[in-house]
Structure 1
Amino acid sequence: MKSIIRVGAAIAALLMLAACATKPAIPFDSSSAGEIKTIGILTPSMPDEPSAILASSVGQSFGLVGALIDAGMQEARESDLEAILNSKQFVAHDKLIDGITASLEAQGYTVRKVAVTRTERDFMKAYPSSNTEKVDAYLDLVMSGYGYIAAGIASGTPYRPIVVTQVRLVSARDSSVLMEDVVYYNRLNSSIETTNVTISPDPAYSFPDFSDLENDPNRTVEGLDVAFAKSTEAIGTLLR
């Protein structure tokens, strides 16, 4: 049952990422946004564990039995990837927050963390009504997924890092949307046109097979370090 749930979650994640590709961006306009000096980063919505997805496999052609086999293999891959990240003290939440904090501060903003309770994997339905942190805007972050992905089992489709982050800036005064976008590091379907931010994966972190990824944990973690760093840098750039 756990394996079936994992496969369902992976498919849902892929569908979510595909949907994001058609979502129009709302660019930040500093001239009309008012004075934005202090940004409160809301507790982000993030998956509890990394993904290790083989987007197309032989098992997909064999119905439920194939799906169960795929699910078991994916569960094993994700457990192994999670173990690698844990062994290197890689904490995705900290990488996201620390990276965005540095990126926003480089743009001249003062940054504060604002704790909120998340009930779903989406933007907040309502933003804090009492501005006790005295911020000018809230940054709402929804990380749809992170980890490694391969397009298929054929040669030439290696595992590469992937990070997908939906980002929205809203006014602390009236919750109006000041900016909204999606930042893709290694976008799944580059054939679909999008106005969102897309970052090509660093070719230095490409693994022909998942076993190659497992056998080189240092480079595996470095690949995600780079993916998070490039993603958070891009988010800061959106608020120039």
Structure 2
Amino acid sequence: MKESIAALGLLSLGACASPYVGTPYTAPAVPVTSVGIVDDTLPDEAIAYEAASTMGNFGLLGALIDAGVQDSRKDRVNEALASVNHTPEATFEAHLIGALADAGIKGAMLQGPDREKRAFLEKYPAAPAGTQALIDFNVTGYGYVNAGNQLWRPTVAADVKMIDAATGKTLMENRIVYNPVDAQAGIVTLAPNPEFVFQNREDMISQPERLAEGIDDALKQVADAAVRLMK
């Protein structure tokens, strides 16, 4: 439950929060054409969170019931995704490598380490000779959210950083949120695809292939947005 709340916090980026300040891309002297991508890009499970749940308005008991309902929904959604062998991390990483290739950048996955928490790594694995930059793509949360309008849509929150492999200098850093609950100034926000809308939990779990497709579509849009920032 704590992980779900933390993930939702990155999707609920309201106007009361301080503006996010990213680092626009600074091109090195030699154009980047080869990058290493840090592994463990996605969390293990999708979220399925209702941002405007009524049970949370009824004190401690209501909050406890609400937590159970939220966890039950998340479990059912992940079971539905598992039933169709959904592999979002592999799909996302393959699309990211393809999007980079379309931009004239050769990308290769680096081996480990797994993240101890959903944050940028403090120490990066060794990259093959000739790698000019590293990409730390940290998806902090993905899945489905109901922002209070009774409809469930895909959502993704990600932090992305590009680091000069030789100097360690940050060449670009930004935050991208697909379908935020409440947008925060300074981040890159992406509107949800209207093709992937669900009425309720039963609607979601009864269509696992479409459920998975909505997540993959959202992740691909986030990857494409990140590549656009690397220019």
Q: TM-score, normalised by structure 2?
A: 0.90
User: Which residue does the alignment assign to 2:209?
Assistant: 218
User: Which residue does the alignment assign to 1:228?
Assistant: 219
User: Which residue does the alignment assign to 2:26?
Assistant: 29
By how many angstroms is 1:18 displaced? 4.3
Equivalent residue letter for 2:181: L
From 122, 125, 131, the counterpart of 1:125:
122
User: Which residue does the alignment assign to 1:107?
Assistant: 103
From 20, 42, 47, the counterpart of 2:43:
47
By how many angstroms is 1:203 displaced? 1.1
Matched, 1:15 2:9: yes
Equivalent residue letter for 1:111: G
Q: Contact (CA 8 Å) 1:112, 1:133: kept in 2 or not?
A: no
Equivalent residue letter for 1:80: R
Aligned residues: 227
By how many angstroms is 1:180 displaced? 0.7
From 162, 165, 176, the counterpart of 2:169:
176
Moved over 6 A (4+): none
User: Which residue does the alignment assign to 2:147?
Assistant: 151
By how many angstroms is 1:218 displaced? 2.8
Q: TM-score, normalised by structure 1?
A: 0.87
Structure 1 Cα separation of the partners of residues 194 and 81 of structure 2? 20
User: Which residue does the alignment assign to 2:59?
Assistant: 63
Matched, 1:89 2:68: no
Structure 2 Cα separation of the partners of residues 33 and 26 of structure 1? 18
Equivalent residue letter for 1:100: L
> What's the Cα RMSD here?
2.0
User: Which residue does the alignment assign to 1:3?
Assistant: none
Equivalent residue letter for 2:23: I
CA deviations over 1:164-211 (Å, ceiling 9, x no partner): 111000000111100011121101203x4x232211001121112222
Matched residue SS, 2:210: helix
Taking structure 1 as reference, are residues 133 and 68 closer, same or farther at Cα in structure 2, changes over 3 Å only?
A: farther
Structure 1 Cα separation of the partners of residues 71 and 132 of structure 2? 42
Matched, 1:164 2:175: no
Structure 1 Cα separation of the partners of residues 36 and 128 of structure 2? 11
Structure 2 Cα separation of the partners of residues 80 and 33 of structure 1? 50
By how many angstroms is 1:157 displaced? 3.4
